[in-house]
Amino acid sequence: MTSQFSPKVSEILAYSREEASRLASRSVGPEHLLLGIMRMKNSPIVEVFQRLDISMQTVKTELETRVREDEIGQPIHTADLVLNEKASNILKLAVLEARLQRTTRVEEQHLLLAILHDQVDNGAKHVLEMNNMNYEDALTLLSVKNGIGLPDEDYEEEEQSSETANSQQKGSGAQTTTAQQKTKSKTPVLDNFGTDLTKQAAEGLLDPCVGREKEIQRVIEILGRRKKNNPILIGEPGVGKSAIVEGLAQMISNHHCSPTLFNKRLVTLDMTGVVAGTKYRGQFEERMKMLVKELEQNPDIIVFIDEIHTLIGAGSTPGSMDAANILKPALARGTIQCIGATTLDEYRNSIEKDGALERRFQKVQVEPTTNEETLEILHNVRDRYEHHHHVSYTDEALEACVKLTARYVTDRFMPDKAIDAMDEVGSRVHLKNANIPPEITEKEQELKQVTEKKLQAVSDQNFELAAGYRDRQTVVERELQELNRKWQSGETDVRQQVTADEVADVVSMMTGVPVQRMAQEEGIRLKGMAQELKGQVIAQDKAIDKMVRAIQRNRVGLKDPNHPIGAFMFLGPTGVGKTYLAKKLAEFMFGSADALIRVDMSEYTESFNVSRLIGAPPGYVGYEEGGQLTERVRRRPYSIVLLDEIEKAHGNVFNLLLQVLDEGRLTDGNGRFVDFRNTVIIMTSNAGTRQLKEFGRGVGFNTSNSSLMLNEQDKEHARQIVQKALSKQFSPEFLNRLDEIITFDQLDLQAIKQIIDVELKSVFKRIGDLGYQVELSDEAKQFVAEKGYDVQFGARPLKRAIQTYIEDGISELIVNGDVKTGATIHINKVEGKDELSFDA
């Protein structure tokens, strides 16, 4: 097998030359090789140092000290540095190590093993051994079976050299046994793929677990069983399943549990790491078998598998077993103990379907915490978040985290959503006030200048001056590090306070719902809301007043929290402004008509169309797409929902809307709750229009009288007819859930004269964009208003009249070229004729 150096080794050699040049050495020795190895990032060598609890910084310092003690000559250019005899021997040994490990190329691991295996005493080996690293330990930790990472040989070459490999294994059997005996851990495979929670608890690295005594006690009882002593925690995402296991680890560490658990180790297993890198058949099964063997040989270990449903199918290939089937026998015998955690949906979809796996676990249901329990949790973790963000949380801020997320973040669970709000508001306040102190900026500038001067001195070959700058650079770097440490630890600044208002801002960004306290300028704006809407929606003052009062109740905070902001039924004949008012309300509240979710109920006249609102049930076409109503509300929970022409919908739609109007929520086709509590629900209906036309008292039939004015008695009579028709159209339980049934009055000629001013503004704006000005006489305006007035059809005929009598005339002038850009077009009424004149 021909060995060759990998690109990483070439990189290490380049680093070694740089280190030798930096330390003014005459040649590259073993010490420089080791310094080059330690400069490699994401290397298995780093993990070896971590596993043996050896500080790489300490080793580096000792190596540099050892090199400086030797004779130092004048600096030599990096390219001119050569390897001394000891370093050359180490490279030859690395080639032999690669052959011994049956790999095709020399990697950085082989260089480390060569340094440790060198029979000639060298400085690098001496420093490593002084820090308790020897050849046997390093070889064991770097072995392929222990999973850290000596490269695998190509599969075909393994098959071809199987006999040679077997003889090599037999020959090195005594050496391997010695290495395993000297290793510091009885479970090297588990150590590689797991994290010891009891060790972390002893070191104080875990957040405290508040409450959950009942669940933890249940877990301890299951662990005490003789067989099938494997608890599985089931609950919604974010309820604290993993926190319960961490709480158990803390109890074991502090001996606050049953004496049978005093000497137990709780280790969480990373299934992703176990599967990663198993590219050949049998490698995954071998890893799992070794894991199970280690767990059986060490009954004091309890393994925790988060997202345990990933065991199903993990590592399986055609003709092989997955992780679940490998673990089943040991779980049933009780020779290993396992704690699992998964969500309700995943348990139902994965674990429950495998009855043999399900019976080996005992369920522990984990419910979301109450608001009181969540507040207690926030108080207990407050110190850690204050230390991390360098802020101070007030008690009111913690209460706001709980109350606001419980009220507005409806698609997640306690305590996770409250802790998220607490975390994000801490980050927000810290970043908003995180100004770099001027002394740090000045020190950074000084360091930059000293570094530039040192490089210039080296370039000028003034090495004595460069050495002085180098010493100054070291002092400035140390001072800068101390300043940064003090600043980042919050020693030099008073911590900013996090208040309830800032929590409200964060929850608003998370949900899109304005939950902040009403500011003074918003109060002034809401106070003028009715007046502004009345200026755009003419002759419907009573309807606007009722709707504005409901919205003001919500923003002040007086409305029922389990109810939509408002649920209104807009009644009245066509063209009186029902849909128009909903659009203008959306523009006023949100600044954009996009916040209006409009659903045309004429599309839902058949019973089978109802599922389109909430999404098709499982098994039907379109199941994954979601509902046309529910998906839009989920994406924009603070909006106006307009159900246009509700009377045209099938009766099943009304039954569907009952829970929306009553509880402010709707269950979609996927079984998810969609929150409607921050929406304004407006339904429009033309119910009673036909009766109003046929049986109206002086209303709706005398359309030839263009000067017809409706008095209050006429309007009240019209409302009674509409209300009577409404009670026949809709069920009492549906109508009883509405906040207000608002009847829009029919428009008389006086209202049409006001509406024409609103309509003409948009027309004149379009004409102005073309470069023309328009002047319309009062007689011409009166003429268009009378032509566009129809008591039955409201304001819509007015738009047609404007098109016919004004827009058509102006367009004819422009097409014929009778008017120049910038000219003013005068529109007047022609005496004795039903037409208008246009003069430029």
Q: Is residue 524 situated within a structural domain?
A: no
Tokens of 255: 């001996």
Both tokens assigned to 447: 């360091």
Contacts of 646 (CB under 8 A, 6+ apart): 569, 601, 653, 683, 684, 685
Q: What is the number of helices (H) and of strands (E) in the chain?
A: 40, 20
Residue with the bigger pLDDT between 428 and 173: it is: 428
Pairing of strands 836-839, 824-829: antiparallel
Q: Which uninterrupted H or E stretch holds 339? A: strand 337-342
Whether 695 and 830 share a structural domain: no
- CATH code (residue 211): 3.40.50.300
Say if CB 395 and CB 499 are below 8 A apart: no
**476-513 exposure pattern, b = at least 16 Cβ within 10 A, e = fewer:** beeebeebeeebeebeeeebbebbbebbbbbbbebbeb
> Encoding tokens for residue 516?
């902040």
Give yes or no: residues 161 and 228 share one domain. Answer: no
Whether 429 and 472 map to the same domain: the answer is: no
| pLDDT at 318 (0 to 100) | 58
569 - beta bridge partners?
683, 741
Q: How far apart are CA 781 and CA 779, in angstroms?
A: 5
pLDDT at 157: 39
> Which of 695, 711, 743 represents a domain boundary (last residue)?
743
Of 97, 251, 114, give the one whose Cα is nearest residue 243: 251
CB environment 269-283: b (16+ within 10 A), e (fewer): bebeebbeebeeeeb
| pLDDT confidence band for 168 (50 / 70 / 90) | very low
- pLDDT of residue 84 exceeding 90, the answer is no
Cis amide leading into 415 (omega within 30): yes
**Do 641 and 718 fall within a single domain?**
yes
Is 516 part of a structural domain of the chain? Answer: no
CA distances from 374 to 212, 251, 404, 405 (A): 11, 20, 12, 11
Establish if 205 belongs to a structural domain: yes
Residue 523 falls inside a structural domain: no
For residues 155 and 36, state if they share a domain: yes
pLDDT of amino acid 493: 56
Q: Quick one: average pLDDT of 542-558?
A: 78
Q: Rounded to an integer, what distance in angstroms lies between the CA atom of residue 574 and that of residue 687?
A: 10
pLDDT of residue 78: 57
- Rounded to 5 degrees, what are φ and ψ at 544? -65, -40
Structurally, the chain folds into a number of domains equal to: 6
* The two three-digit tokens of residue 723, written as one number: 């209300």
Residue 106 in this model has a pLDDT that exceeds 80: yes
Nearest to 148 by CA among 59, 58, 53, 42: 42
In a domain, 554, yes or no: yes
pLDDT digits (tens, 9 = 90+) for 456-514: 888 887 878 888 888 888 888 888 888 887 776 655 456 788 888 889 888 888 887 77
Q: Is residue 527 one of the residues assigned to a domain?
A: no
Among the three residues 479, 511, 543, which one is the final residue of a domain in this structure? 511
Which one, of 240, 222, 221, lies nearest residue 231 by Cα? 222
The mean pLDDT value for 336-349 works out to 89
Confidence class for position 757, pLDDT limits 50, 70, 90? confident
What is the C-alpha end-to-end distance of the chain, expressed in Å? 98
**Structural domain harbouring 283:** 188-365
**Mean pLDDT, all residues of the chain:** 79
| Cβ 266 vs Cβ 248: under 8 Å | yes
User: Does residue 570 contact residue 688 with C-beta atoms inside 8 Å?
Assistant: no
Q: Is 141 exposed, middle or buried (0-12, 13-18, 19+ CB in 10 A)?
A: buried
Q: Are residues 47 and 84 in the same domain?
A: yes
Residues 732 and 686 placed together within one structural domain of the fold: yes
Is the dihedral angle over the CA atoms 186, 191, 193, 194 positive or is it negative? positive
**Judgement on whether residues 74 and 9 belong to the same structural domain of the protein:** yes
Instruction: Verify that 37 and 145 share a domain, yes or no.
Output: yes
Q: Are 216 and 247 in contact (CB under 8 A)?
A: yes
Q: How confident is the model at residue 379 (pLDDT cuts 50, 70, 90)?
A: very high
Answer whether 35's CB lies under 8 Å from 12's CB.
Answer: no
pLDDT at 75: 54
**Mean local confidence (pLDDT), 28-42:** 85
Task: Please report whether residue 358 resides in a domain.
Answer: yes
Query: What per-residue confidence (pLDDT) applies to 701?
Result: 41
**Can you give the CATH number for the domain in which 403 is found?**
1.10.8.60
**Judgement on whether residues 703 and 562 belong to the same structural domain of the protein:** yes
Strand 673-675 relative to strand 665-667, pairing: antiparallel
| Domain termination residue (choose one: 365, 389, 418) | 365
Based on the domain organization, do 545 and 692 belong to the same domain? yes
* Bigger pLDDT: 774 vs 154: 774
Looking at the structure, tell me whether residues 292 and 381 fall in a common domain. no
292 is a domain residue: yes
